Amino acid sequence: MKEDILSDKLLNELEIYGVSRRDFLKYCATTAAILGISELEFTSGIAYALEKPTSGKPAVLWIEGQACAGCTIALTQVSYPPIASIILDKISVRYDHTIMAAAGHLAEKVYEDTVKQGGYILIVEGATPSADDRFHMGGGMPFRKRLEESARNSTAVLAVGACSAYGGIPRACPSKGIGVSEVLNKAKINKPVVNISTCPVHPDHLIGTILYVLVTGKVPELDSKGRPAMYFGEVSMHDNCRRRAHFDAGEFLKDWNDPKQKNWCLLEKGCKGPVSYIDCTVRRWNEGISFCLDCGGLCQACGEPVFYDKVTPLYTAESEISQKILAMREAGLLMKENS
Amino acid sequence: MAKKITIDPITRIEGHLKIEVEIEDGKVKNAWSSGTMARGFEAMLTGKDPRDASYITSRFCGVCYSVHQLASARALDIAFGAKVPWGGNLIRNLVMGAEYIYDHLLHFYQLSALDYIDIMAIANYKGNDKELLAVRDKIVSLVKAKDTYPLTPRYEPDDFTVKDPDIVISAVNHYLKALNMHVKARNMGAIWGGRTPHYQNIVVGGVTSYPDLNQWARFRTMLDEQKKFIEEVYIQDVVAFGTGPLWKLATMGVGGGHYNYLACGDFPLDSEWKKLVFPAGVIVGLDPSNIKVETFDHKKITESVKNSWYKEKKPVHPYDGEQVFDLNKKEAYSFVKAPRYNGKAMEVGPLARMLVAKNPTLIDLVKKGAKPGAVARHAARAIETKLIVDACYEWLDQLLTEMTKPGFKIHDTAHWDPPETGIGAGFHEAPRGALGHWVKIKNKKIENYQAVVPSTWNASPRCENGVRGQYEESLIGVPVPDPENPINVVRVIRSFDPCLACAIHIIDPKTNEIRKFLIE
């Protein structure tokens, strides 16, 4: 009888976590006895508290500042598990202006209610203009204000993509975009921020971090630049590059038309692999099909704080960073035995 | 008495868009379209190495990624004097073909479909198809758990909303399948593009991705799967909806606008660029029974900043455009500029392309009574997706021949270094419409950079002469019986597939003052 007032959903979920129906009811009865309230009243009360606000799924707010929506598209790039199962089964996406059904005041109402309720994971895409708030208004308020108020009541903040992590390309623009950590520091808001940089965010990095937070209830270990250590900070792209043998042999690609040079080192074209501590070379992109270096493109260190103002010009070895890399090469610091 | 309503943000589009409409007697009487975010990309490019432009401008937008990369590379090709080898053009075409397929599927299913179906009708599905029952149970379980985000809240279903449980459940099933199909389409493009969003292989002079036969075979196999889905599911759904439950909306021509259309033309089928998948042309004041197409000449384009947050300047050709922000400008209400062709506001995109091409399938629909508007835009998009798929097969055949010849080339390496001075205009028919990039080079650096993008044409505010932009015009007369539930407004706007980050690569400051509405 008592079980009737508990939804099957809640009980099933508790069982997934190793709590049987019997154990749960026993727990409720004991607690109720201690508190001196009716067992029935208490059981239904707990069930309500656990189920009503979140249905077992953690609430997620996805807000977009000065962005191109490339990171939103990267989110939908996940196939294992299919993105639909994440959005419908694992998390409760209250606000994401690219996918949500609501628009206008309906969308804003959900946003406000969720912020008021608190306890959600905040995902931020895009930079925040620091030159003038009016460079980005939305729903009638500056984006900076939206970021501050939604961060304040969140449990953790994921800054996805180069713009959100460190300002990225907008940092070089007249609007002077800055990253989430900088905005929160200025406003003296102390929340754990995970920088999942690269332009756009790597779908694996994003979904892996979300899964980590869901499973452990904590943010993952971070490297010195605030990025998940499981993906960033360990080995440079240069050290893990499949073109590495050609670097060691002094073979540098000059002509993209020459099949002999196809796999030669791209350093002299402007590749920034030696300063890029990201796992793209081993993980690759698009389910392993390819990535920047495999299509003859260059690594532009898009996951590093130096992107983009310190890595321009992109397609020659003349940028501030490329000069540094060439000096490292001169000093023998890029060779295998030293790296 | 006119009532003003504001929809901010317009969701399920790329970027930040606000629409304000004035409603009288249940219909839209006046409308204002405002882009509300700006970064200032073009201004930032001044003084940079010109080759940066294709990488940077790709980031105008991550939904229609790489369309700017291509338009930019084409402008640079001309400015550098580079001649892209046919092999390089074939690979550019193929990766952009993959982008088209993904983009149009995403738009129809993920961004638009929810406007036309009552998703909760699924609960009444009485059939016994196992796959559909699984979809029903999933949605019902979300409802029972009182957590149907992000599928609700929503505007209330209206008279045009499809409520038949069999149709709705099949559409939602296809919505879920399409998610998987566009992931695969993006992977297909990544074979040569390197990764998505934002390809890495398109540069001035051609591409960097030297193809091999395994990649070719993989692309073709993946294309077969896309073709099957597009022919058997996507096109069937568009036909079933457009000629079925939405036929009334189609014949009413809701969302028509100015009836001026522009296509810059694109996708060469031969190395001489004699035959294009999408021909160029301009239609002024469409007469469906006698379509007259003028020659497109980019010199007739001017941009007005009269109602935009930029320093006042007379309308000029994009070569002479500038990006100086004036966030305090009183009459301004958008970061989007107002491009005009011969002084006229234009619509760009699939509908414009199919009308300019006098596509027989679309013309047939129009003859049967579907007026150019919101529904016709969805039809045109489906029709051209098929054209792109067919073209991809043709390009693959040609690539196979080319890449197995000695001396096969993908890049004009002799013109890799920037010239002392140069000038170039690059055009591309992006999924959302005609796109142009203009670059001036001085001392091997960018002296001026301007882009006029599809959503700038469509989402533009009023110009000097007070002529509304195409979004604004297309909203006039749209039925809004309940101001609390302006579902037709978002249907019309979303039928254009707005992409606001593109439209405002510049800056958008908005004053906090409430704009005064002039009651005309």
Catalytic annotation, pick one of B54, B61, B334, B505: B61
pLDDT of residue A30: 41
Q: Does B180 touch chain A (CB under 8 A)?
A: yes
- Mean of the pLDDT values across residues B467-479? 93
Same domain, A6 and A38: yes
pLDDT of residue B36: 64
Chain B stretch 402-441, residues whose beta carbon is closer than 8 A to a beta carbon of chain A: 408-411, 413
Which has the minimum average pLDDT: A311-325, B249-263, B270-284, B503-517?
B503-517
Q: Do B38 and A136 touch (CB under 8 A)?
A: yes
pLDDT > 90: what percent of chain B? Answer: 62
Q: Which residues of A touch B149 (CB under 8 A)?
A: 92-94, 100, 110
Catalytic (active site) residue B432: yes
pLDDT band at A40 (very low <50, low <70, confident <90, very high): very low
Chain B stretch 210-269, residues whose beta carbon is closer than 8 A to a beta carbon of chain A: 210
Residue B121 to residue B124: CA distance in whole angstroms: 6
Q: Which residues of B touch A127 (CB under 8 A)?
A: 39
Same domain, A43 and A122: no
Q: What is the pLDDT of residues B50-68, one digit of tens each?
A: 999 999 999 988 888 899 9
pLDDT at A47 over 70: no
Minimum distance, in Å, between the CA of residue B487 and any CA atom of chain A? 9
pLDDT at B209 over 70: yes
Residue B143 to residue B130: CA distance in whole angstroms: 20
Residue B29 to residue B519: CA distance in whole angstroms: 10
The pTM assigned to this predicted structure is 0.89
- Mean of the pLDDT values across residues B194-211? 97
Which has the minimum average pLDDT: B35-39, B216-220, B392-396, B422-426?
B35-39
Rounded to the nearest 5°, which phi and psi values hold at B229? -65, -40
B420 Rama sector, left if φ>0, alpha if ψ -120 to 50, beta otherwise: alpha
pLDDT band at B39 (very low <50, low <70, confident <90, very high): low
Chain B's closest residue to A307, CA to CA, is B56
Which of A48, A135, A143, A300 to substitute to test the interface with B, most B CBs within 10 Å?
A135
Q: From A35, A51, A67, give the residue that closes a domain.
A: A51
Same domain, A114 and A199: yes
Same domain, A127 and A203: yes
3-class state of residue A47 by DSSP? helix
Q: Do A76 and B183 touch (CB under 8 A)?
A: yes
**Could you give the number of structural domains in chain A?**
3
Q: Which residues of A touch B217 (CB under 8 A)?
A: none
Same domain, A181 and A100: yes
Q: Do B40 and A173 touch (CB under 8 A)?
A: yes
Chain A's closest residue to B502, CA to CA, is A68
Report the first-to-last Cα separation within chain B, whole angstroms: 12
Q: What is the pLDDT of residues A90-103, one digit of tens each?
A: 888 888 877 777 77
Q: What is the pLDDT of residues A131-189, one digit of tens each?
A: 989 888 777 789 999 999 999 999 999 999 999 999 999 999 888 999 999 999 999 99
Report the first-to-last Cα separation within chain A, whole angstroms: 68
Q: Do A175 and B38 touch (CB under 8 A)?
A: yes
Higher pLDDT, B36 or B253: B253
Is A221 contained in some domain? no
Residue A298 to residue A253: CA distance in whole angstroms: 11
pLDDT at A42 over 50: no
Residue type, B376: A
pLDDT of residue A202: 97
Minimum distance, in Å, between the CA of residue A296 and any CA atom of chain B? 5
Same domain, A90 and A201: yes
Q: Does A99 touch chain B (CB under 8 A)?
A: yes
Residue B265 to residue B503: CA distance in whole angstroms: 20
Is A235 contained in some domain? no
Pairing of strands B301-304, B338-341: antiparallel
Query: For the CA atoms of chain A, what is the radius of gyration?
Result: 24
Catalytic (active site) residue B447: no
pLDDT of residue B424: 96
Chain A's closest residue to B328, CA to CA, is A134
Catalytic (active site) residue A173: no
Which of B19, B34, B37, B335 to substitute to test the interface with A, most A CBs within 10 Å?
B37
- Mean of the pLDDT values across residues B296-311? 91
Task: Enter the tokens of residue A224.
Answer: 């010195």
Catalytic annotation, pick one of A28, A136, A163, A205: A163
Q: What is the pLDDT of residues A275-289, one digit of tens each?
A: 999 999 999 999 999
pLDDT band at B511 (very low <50, low <70, confident <90, very high): very low
Q: Does A263 touch chain B (CB under 8 A)?
A: no
pLDDT of residue A54: 42
pLDDT of residue B448: 92
Q: Do A73 and B196 touch (CB under 8 A)?
A: yes
3-class state of residue B346 by DSSP? coil
Residue B455 to residue B452: CA distance in whole angstroms: 9
pLDDT of residue A8: 56
Minimum distance, in Å, between the CA of residue B263 and any CA atom of chain A? 24
Higher pLDDT, A83 or B460: B460
Is A32 contained in some domain? yes
pLDDT at A201 over 90: yes
Query: Which of B192, B325, B501 shows the shortest C-beta gap to A69?
Result: B501
pLDDT > 70: what percent of chain B? Answer: 94
Q: Which residues of A touch B182 (CB under 8 A)?
A: 76
Higher pLDDT, B224 or A26: B224
pLDDT of residue A198: 96
Is A239 contained in some domain? no
A161 Rama sector, left if φ>0, alpha if ψ -120 to 50, beta otherwise: left
Q: What is the CATH number of domain B3-118+157-503?
A: 1.10.645.10
Mean pLDDT of chain A: 84
pLDDT of residue A13: 52
Q: What is the CATH number of the domain that holds A262?
A: 4.10.480.10
pLDDT > 70: what percent of chain A? Answer: 83
Same domain, A74 and A45: no
- Mean of the pLDDT values across residues A329-333? 91
Mean pLDDT of chain B: 89
Q: Quick one: which of A288, A312, A283 has its CA closest to A298? A: A312
pLDDT at B402 over 50: yes
Is A236 contained in some domain? no
Same domain, A171 and A278: no
Q: ipTM of the predicted structure? A: 0.88
Same domain, A317 and A294: yes
Q: Do A136 and B198 touch (CB under 8 A)?
A: no
pLDDT at A17 over 50: no
Which of B4, B200, B404, B514 to substitute to test the interface with A, most A CBs within 10 Å?
B200
> CA distances (Å), A40 to each of A20, A35, A37, A44, A234, in order?
18, 13, 9, 6, 54
Residue B501 to residue B86: CA distance in whole angstroms: 32
pLDDT of residue A88: 77
Extents of the domains making up chain B: 3-118+157-503
Q: Do A135 and B508 touch (CB under 8 A)?
A: yes
Same domain, A125 and A172: yes
Q: Which residues of A touch B145 (CB under 8 A)?
A: 7, 9, 51, 55-56
Higher pLDDT, A71 or B140: A71
Catalytic annotation, pick one of A199, A202, A205, A246: A199
CB-count burial class (<10 Å; 0-12, 13-18, 19+) for A209: buried
Element at B182 (helix H, strand E): helix B165-193
- Mean of the pLDDT values across residues B69-74? 98
Minimum distance, in Å, between the CA of residue B32 and any CA atom of chain A? 15
pLDDT of residue A168: 96
Q: What is the pLDDT of residues B355-374, one digit of tens each?
A: 999 999 999 999 999 999 99
pLDDT of residue A223: 97
pLDDT band at B233 (very low <50, low <70, confident <90, very high): very high
Q: Quick one: which of A232, A223, A246 has its CA closest to A334? A: A246
pLDDT at A244 over 50: yes
Catalytic (active site) residue B64: yes
Q: Do A66 and B63 touch (CB under 8 A)?
A: no
Residue A250 to residue A271: CA distance in whole angstroms: 15
Q: Do A255 and B44 touch (CB under 8 A)?
A: no
pLDDT at A26 over 60: no
Residue type, B212: D
Which has the minimum average pLDDT: A91-105, B102-116, B173-187?
A91-105
pLDDT at B75 over 80: yes
Q: What is the pLDDT of residues A70-86, one digit of tens each?
A: 999 998 888 888 777 78
pLDDT of residue B385: 98
Chain A stretch 58-97, residues whose beta carbon is closer than 8 A to a beta carbon of chain B: 64-74, 76-79, 82-84, 87-88, 92-97
Catalytic (active site) residue B463: no
Exposed e or buried b for every residue in B267-302, given b needs 16+ CB within 10 A? bbeeeeeeebbbbbbbbbebeeeebebeebebebbb
- Mean of the pLDDT values across residues A190-203? 96
Same domain, A8 and A93: no
Catalytic (active site) residue A299: yes
Domain that holds residue A124: 59-216
pLDDT at A48 over 70: no
pLDDT of residue A109: 87
pLDDT at A2 over 70: no
